[in-house]
Amino acid sequence: MGALNGQVVLVTGASRGIGLAIAQRAWREGASVVLTSRKESNLDEALATFDDRARVRAVAAHVGRRADAERVVSSALESFGRLDVLVNNAGTNPHFGPLVDIDDARMQKTYDVNQASIVTHTAAAWHQWMKEHGGVVLNMASIGGLGPEPGIGWYNTTKAAVIYLTKQFAFELAPAVRVNAIAPGLVRTELARALWSTREAEIAARIPLRRLGEPSDVASVALSLMSDETSWMTGQTIVVDGGTTTQASGGVS
Residue 253 covered by a domain = no
Residue 251 covered by a domain = no
pLDDT one-digit tens code per residue, 16-35 = 999 999 999 999 999 999 99
Residue 2 covered by a domain = no
> Which pLDDT score, from 0 to 100, does residue 253 have?
45
165 or 250, greater pLDDT? 165
CA distance 125 to 179: 12
For residue 78, pLDDT beyond 50: yes
> Which pLDDT score, from 0 to 100, does residue 134 have?
98
Structurally, the chain folds into a number of domains equal to 1
One-character DSSP codes across 193-240 = HHHHTT-HHHHHHTSTTSS-B-HHHHHHHHHHHHSGGGTT--S-EEEE
Mean pLDDT of 29-49: 97
> 158 and 183 in contact (C-beta within 8 Å)?
no
> 125 and 137 in contact (C-beta within 8 Å)?
yes
Q: Give the pTM.
A: 0.95
> Which pLDDT score, from 0 to 100, does residue 16 have?
95
Mean pLDDT of 138-154: 95
pLDDT one-digit tens code per residue, 174-228 = 999 999 999 999 998 877 666 666 788 888 889 999 999 999 999 999 999 999 9
Residue 252 covered by a domain = no
Domain of 197, CATH number, reads 3.40.50.720
The three-class DSSP label of residue 93 is coil
> Which pLDDT score, from 0 to 100, does residue 188 have?
86
Reduced DSSP (H G I as helix, E B as strand, rest coil) percent helix, strand, coil of the chain, to 5: 50, 15, 35
Give the structural domain span for 216: 8-246
Average predicted confidence (pLDDT) for the chain: 94
State the catalytic residues.
Answer: 155
Closest CA to 225 of 163, 164, 181, 159: 181
Region of 68 please: left (phi>0), alpha (psi -120 to 50) or beta.
alpha
Mean pLDDT of 103-122: 98
